[in-house]
Structure 1
Amino acid sequence: MRFSQIAAAYATALLMAGTAPAQSQQETPHISLELNKLEASGTACRLSFVMENRSSQDIDAASYEIVVFGKNDVINQMSVFDFGVLPQDKTIVRQFELSNLTCEGTGKLLINGPAGCSTEFVSGHCTTPLSLQSRTSVSLIQ
């Protein structure tokens, strides 16, 4: 085999290897929800979330039922968090203050599911999977 044939074969192999990861990295449509920060605010705990709408559509209204557990795994509060409009391929930040809750005593947050969904109103958040992450010591689970 001559050098030019070897070089051509090597270049072809590199090109094929370079396209494989790109194909496997295509994202499944989802909404990314990250618990980014918890901070005390008087007698409340302020929760800061970062969301990214990686679905194939704008979402006009997104609400989720969230259950707050203490570090002892006992339910502390249950609330519906209204994240509002989620434009497609956009990152947003939303903050919620939960009264009579200490951040230090919070163990985990359970996303119980989408809220406000019915047969008459099917928002994109009702059917789009969630991808969860927490940058805090408090777990974010489904």
Structure 2
Amino acid sequence: MKSWSVFIEIGRWTAAALVAVPLTAMTALADPPVPAASAGALKLELNRAETTPAGCRLSFLAVNSTGKALQAPAYELVFFSPDGIIEQLTVFDFGAMPEGKTVVRQFDVPGLGCGAGRILLNGPVGCEAEDAAHCGAALELASRTALSFDK
């Protein structure tokens, strides 16, 4: 009788292991890693570029590691065609960004395609304001799309 109880115990552990492995793998797929930002930096990652009937919808992940909350960081972005021709210049206001938090911001750019090309972060906007901590923050840029995103 003792040999059956050992087999049953081994069977339970094997079944638990077989269930745990796929669940662990699914968890890893469900929770993509959050991009890290260096201390004192603001990381902006162009995470998705989606063509809509009106134009291009851009989704950004932003990680604020500047050491202070940012009230309304805004940046001027320049959109280039794949041929290097300037297509559009616009300002994106990223809204409140608490320190140490990751936030997602989405912007629609009317009349612009999301194909290959380049987005240049031309610089911060609103630097004459009293609370414009983003103006001096180190920027780290990244893109997970076909669009290049740099400064």
TM range (shorter): 0.7 to 0.9
1:107 equivalenced with 2:117 (yes/no): yes
Q: Which amino acid aligns with 2:133?
A: G
Question: If each structure's strand is expressed as a fraction of its own residues, which one has the higher value?
Answer: 1
Is 2:38 aligned against 1:38?
no
1:73-128 CA deviation, whole Å, 9 max, x = no partner? Answer: 00000000000111000000011111111112x4010000000111x534110100
> Which of 59, 68, 74 is residue 48 of structure 1 equivalent to?
59
Q: Which amino acid aligns with 2:127?
A: C
Q: Which 4+ stretches in 1 moved above 6 angstroms?
A: none
**Which amino acid letter does the alignment assign opposite residue 108 of structure 2?**
E
Q: CA RMSD in A?
A: 1.1
- Contact 1:43/1:102, CA 8 A, preserved across alignment: no
Identical residues among aligned pairs (%): 41
1:128 and 2:151 correspond:
no
Q: Which amino acid aligns with 1:48?
A: S
Question: Where does the alignment leave 5 or more consecutive residues of structure 2 unmatched?
Answer: 1-37
Number of residue-to-residue matches in the alignment: 114
* Gaps in structure 1 of 5+ consecutive residues: 1-26
Give the TM-score of the pair, scaled to structure 2.
0.73
**Quick one: which amino acid aligns to residue 59 of structure 2?**
S
Q: Which residue of 2 aligns with 1:84?
A: 95
- Superposition deviation, residue 61 in structure 1: 1.1
Aligned to 2:95, the other structure's residue is in SS state strand
**2:96 aligns to what SS in structure 1?**
strand
What is the CA–CA distance in structure 2 between the aligned matches of 1:91 and 1:126, rounded to whole Å?
19
TM-score (normalizing by structure 1): 0.77
